Amino acid sequence: MNNNYSLNELINVEALQGIQDKFADATGLGAVIVNREGIPVTKPSNFTSFCSTVRLCNKGFQKCKLSDSEGGINAKERGKPDPYVCEHGLIDVAAPIILENSFIGTILCGQIISEEEGREKTLERVKERVKDYDIDFEILKEKFNDVEVLPRERIIAAAEFLSLSANYIAKMGLANIYQQELIEESRNRRQLEEHLRTKQLKILQSQVNPHFLFNVLNSIARLALIENAQETEDVTYALSDLLRYSLRNIEEIVSLEEELNCVNDYIVIQKKRYRDQFKFKIDIDKKLYDINIPLLSIQPLIENAIIHGFKEKDSGTIEISSEETAKKIVIIVEDDGVGMSQNILNNILTYEEKNREKITTHITGIGIDNVHKRLKYYFGDEYGLEINSRLGKGTKVKMNLPKNYN
């Protein structure tokens, strides 16, 4: 159970007021229900004019609040609602409201004089405790004379009745919690079922569409072979392989060789699409082919260079190379395109959606920031992308990878 529940959150205040009013009517005693801090959550029932007058004074109200809170806490520690002397000298009884071992409030009754102590002795105590109050004591004395005197047996009986009322309130609160949890669980179940239905539909669609597309592409490639259309055959097979690769699990770790095969397929397509408008150079040491790299890490960088780097140029060169340091392997994708402004460069790898330029690719929808975050996730914060760019001079992206990663 959430231990931060407040009393009036668990139980409707009107219901609490009804319980309190019936208790006050049955016993003839003043009663009020307060939260764990001693602040009333109900309107006082059958309060004596003495207590109502004391509470009109700010100091008197604060002491009453403290007394009510301590009364509930002390009764909880004792395990029963024994009578006690309040801050202003009268006899009160407090029954703690305990919900699954959590103290959430108190129901109080009393504002009486014990028969054993008597009115005169009690008045002396009252006078001492209110001597620095901003209240005319003669008025307070007059109201004190209306306070009821009861024998101890009546006070103990009231305490037992009060305890039953506190337990009833706690059971009401527990029933309301279970009802709220049941409603929440039912709502969550409906949302989960709807989510599963949507996912199942998407899974079925993803199973149908790629297989159909691959079959069509392979048929086109075989037809191109029959018709001796070599370029059409090459591009079709490259597109089929690229799509198959891009539909693999994005969380997969692959070898650098597999990723470069994807890059080569992509280059075949782009050369035909742009009629050799762009030149591609790949200069990566083959001894690095076995290193691990997240799926679709290099291809999005090349596609980004084409889409954004050459959007205002008719030609250009993209170079993919590698270098080694003592602890890292660096894959470099460099272009001689239009470059980026400092503003875009400052925000391109940040995670604040509202401030970031949207740099995403067409084939996979994977942006540079996605590649950067995945590298950090798999390898650690010291890895990832570094980008250097100048307007009109091109862009260089360095991909930092660990040298020894299994």
Q: Give the domain CATH number at 347.
A: 3.30.565.10
Looking at the fold, whether 164 and 24 belong to one and the same domain comes out as: yes
46 Cβ contact partners less than 8 Å away, ≥ 6 residues apart: 24, 25, 28, 29, 30, 31
156 within domain boundaries: yes
Looking at the fold, whether 282 and 180 belong to one and the same domain comes out as: no
CA distance 186 to 260: 49
Looking at the fold, whether 176 and 27 belong to one and the same domain comes out as: yes
Most confidently predicted of 135-139, 245-249, 258-262, 376-380: 258-262
Number of domains comprising the chain? 2
Average confidence (pLDDT) over 348-367: 52
Q: Which amino acid is at 33?
A: I
CA distance 278 to 282: 13
264 within domain boundaries: no
Domain boundary among 184, 206, 229: 184
Looking at the fold, whether 293 and 160 belong to one and the same domain comes out as: no
Predicted confidence at residue 350, as pLDDT, reads: 64
176 within domain boundaries: yes
Predicted confidence at residue 216, as pLDDT, reads: 54
**Phi then psi for 265, rounded to 5 degrees?**
-60, -40
Looking at the fold, whether 156 and 280 belong to one and the same domain comes out as: no
231 within domain boundaries: no
pLDDT, tens only, 116-151: 889 999 999 999 898 888 888 889 999 998 898 999
69 within domain boundaries: yes
Predicted confidence at residue 353, as pLDDT, reads: 40
Domain boundary among 139, 169, 184: 184
* Six token digits for residue 238: 């490259």
Give Cα separations from 207 to 40, 217, 304 (angstroms).
63, 16, 28
Average confidence (pLDDT) over 17-30: 89
User: 28: pLDDT confidence band, cut at 50, 70 and 90?
Assistant: confident
| Range(s) of the domain holding residue 89 | 7-184
Quote the Cα angle for 52-58-62, to 5°: 85
Looking at the fold, whether 295 and 179 belong to one and the same domain comes out as: no
Predicted confidence at residue 367, as pLDDT, reads: 76
pLDDT, tens only, 288-320: 999 999 988 998 899 888 888 887 787 889 999
**The pTM of the whole model exceeds 0.85:** no
* Six token digits for residue 102: 């959590």
pLDDT, tens only, 183-240: 888 888 788 777 766 665 565 444 445 554 555 566 667 667 776 778 787 877 778 7
Domain boundary among 138, 155, 184: 184
Looking at the fold, whether 285 and 164 belong to one and the same domain comes out as: no
CA distance 165 to 17: 12
Looking at the fold, whether 168 and 279 belong to one and the same domain comes out as: no
137 within domain boundaries: yes
Percent of the chain with pLDDT over 90: 20
229 within domain boundaries: no
The mean pLDDT of the chain is 82
Looking at the fold, whether 173 and 308 belong to one and the same domain comes out as: no
49 Cβ contact partners less than 8 Å away, ≥ 6 residues apart: 143, 146
Predicted confidence at residue 258, as pLDDT, reads: 93
175 within domain boundaries: yes
Which CATH number belongs to the domain containing residue 129 in this structure? 3.30.450
Predicted confidence at residue 395, as pLDDT, reads: 92
CA distance 127 to 132: 10
